[in-house]
Amino acid sequence: MSQHYIPENLPEKIQHYINGEFVDSISGATFEVLDPVSNTAYTTAAAGQKEDIDAAVAAAREAFVNGPWPRMKARERARVLNRIADAVEAQEDRLAELETFDTGLPIKQARGQAQRAAENFRFFADLIVAQFDDAMKVPGSQLNYVNRKPIGVAGLITPWNTPFMLESWKLGPALATGNCVVLKPAEFTPLSASLWATIFKEAGLPDGVFNLVNGLGEEAGDALVKHPDVPLISFTGETTTGQTIFRNAAEHLKGLSMELGGKSPAVIFEDADLDAAIDSTLFGVFSLNGERCTAGSRILVHRSVYHEFCERYAARAKNIVVGDPHDPATEVGALVHPEHYAKVMSYVEIGKTEGRLLAGGGRPENLPEGQQNGSYVSPTVFADVAPTARIFQEEIFGPVVAITPFDSDEEALELANGVKYGLAAYLWTQDLTRAHNFAQNVEAGMVWLNSHNVRDLRTPFGGVKASGLGHEGGYRSIDFYTDQQAVHITLGAVHTPRFGATATEPAPAKTAQFGASK
Ligand code: NAD
């Protein structure tokens, strides 16, 4: 395929969606949206400012305080969520086409995103219907129960890698639990988020429950984080942005969920199934163009298999098909944006001074006709990378991997833990004792043993150290988006110390107790 593929019916402009209406920014401000293959603007998006966020939050707040959504029975909300899931699934082809066009993600990997997004809605629809809360009894004396309530307006701020699917992670549980939301998608990739508005409307979500404001992080995102009527912020993005949001949310003591960056190790022990480990560690860093938070971007290999691993790994990396994201044969497409491309390429150059280049190292040759300006980077492999190297320590978020040898389990653990991040770890060994001990001690929110990154929606998702704060996934998401109010009821006599009562004043009559014998 050599033509630059452009999907039909692209929007002439991308607007906000506030209180059930598509609207421009109040100021009329817009920003340009590029596609990563031609790196030219294909449309403009409304650039939300503080006043647009104010309007969206006001709509969400009104829907929360006076609208039906937070008060509906769980089963009724679940019906709407299931209709949303059906509609998302029905958009599979269109979504894949738009996501590939806007992000540069290979079409084969963009397919399936709609199904995963739909599954997030079905999963939380099931969970809220099955949800029950604790009651704690003190016989004859007190009953305590948990009254779980939605919190209010949730601010959802999302990144540009698999944007639609990541938005569904937050939208599913936030809406299922009865909150109203303002979504601020990433400015590099606003195209697919606009699908939500129509999907939600047709599924019967009341106006004002879902609001979408496009715009830059420092403007629209910042205003959302600082808004006093937004008690919750769920954020996925870079660690440094997370730190800024943390500071800005402090004034109103907001509830925060932070899914941040990673530099995850894949550890190949001497007894690993090398064939499986090579397949998985190639996919783990080069799928989604390497723009994957859980990418295994540091591979630690036992010295006894190091040489063989490096040779076989590099040979396969050189064979990876880089090219037009819309071509089903493509394995690595174009990076999302020229700014990000420049960042990744700068690490490729740094890597050449820090490691031994085994594959890639720049732009691929023989780019498809008409795509010479695309943000393409060859899958790049560096070996013999020291733990002090920047390419070992810093998140690159592109198709670049660092390989480092180790001699003992202790050294492997020290290397694995020797970075500021702690999102995921991948372990390859046949030795169960070693695997479980290593999993216990590795500083990672998620560990995969002899497995690549597959995830059951019930499991906790999140990182430790600089990779995040709090976990989402399954019941943890329900907990994040709800307040668990404790209600205490006295069943028997009220034993209150009687301040100010004189000794002669009669005590209040004891309350009758059911079952108490006379
Ligand atoms: P980013 O931090 O640049 O932007 C993320 C979002 O935050 C965007 O919508 C942006 O507009 C907004 N934003 C930026 N500055 C802001 C501010 N001052 N106030 C409020 N909002 C602001 O991240 P990115 O480049 O879009 O995404 C890539 C990063 O996301 C990588 O670090 C990756 O590891 C991380 N990520 C993490 C996970 C996870 O689950 N841990 C998943 C996907 C991506």
Kindly tell me the sign of the dihedral angle through the C-alpha atoms of 496, 486, 180, 27. positive
* pLDDT tens digits along 69-81: 999 999 999 999 9
CA–CA dist 165, 99 (Å, integer): 10
Query: How many CA atoms within 13 Å lie on the side-chain side of 442?
Result: 30
DSSP 135-149: EEEETTTEEEEEEEE
Q: Is 236 in the pocket of ligand 1 (CB under 6 A)?
A: yes
Task: For residue 164, report the distance from its CA to the centre of ligand 1, in Å.
Answer: 14
- pLDDT value of position 367: 86
Please report the atom of ligand 1 found closest to the CA of residue 467.
41
> Among this protein's residues, is 259 annotated catalytic?
yes
* pLDDT tens digits along 284-328: 999 999 999 999 999 999 999 999 999 999 999 999 999 999 999
Please report the atom of ligand 1 found closest to the CA of residue 239.
32
Q: Write down the pTM of the prediction.
A: 0.96
Please report the atom of ligand 1 found closest to the CA of residue 242.
2
DSSP 229: T
Phi/psi of residue 21, each to 5°?
A: -130, 140
Comparing CA positions, the residue from 139, 206, 200 lying closest to residue 168 is 200
Pocket test for ligand 1, best of 50, 232, 236, 336 (most atoms within 8 A of CB): 236
Q: How large is the average pLDDT for residues 61-73?
A: 98
Asked if residue 281 lies in contact with residue 273, where contact means CB atoms within 8 angstroms, the answer is: no
Q: How large is the average pLDDT for residues 75-89?
A: 98
CA–CA dist 268, 412 (Å, integer): 9
Residue nearest to ligand 1 atom 12, measured at CA: 217
Name the active-site residue from 97, 167, 187, 293.
Answer: 293
Asked if residue 383 lies in contact with residue 351, where contact means CB atoms within 8 angstroms, the answer is: no
| Mean pLDDT for the chain overall | 95
User: At 55, which amino acid appears?
Assistant: A
Task: For residue 129, report the distance from its CA to the centre of ligand 1, in Å.
Answer: 32
> Among this protein's residues, is 339 annotated catalytic?
no
Tokens of 127: 């969970």
Sheet containing 356-359: order of strands: 356-359, 380-383, 400-406, 298-302, 265-268, 424-428, 446-449
Q: Is 48 in the pocket of ligand 1 (CB under 6 A)?
A: no
Q: Is 221 in the pocket of ligand 1 (CB under 6 A)?
A: yes
Task: For residue 233, report the distance from its CA to the centre of ligand 1, in Å.
Answer: 13
CA–CA dist 88, 430 (Å, integer): 40
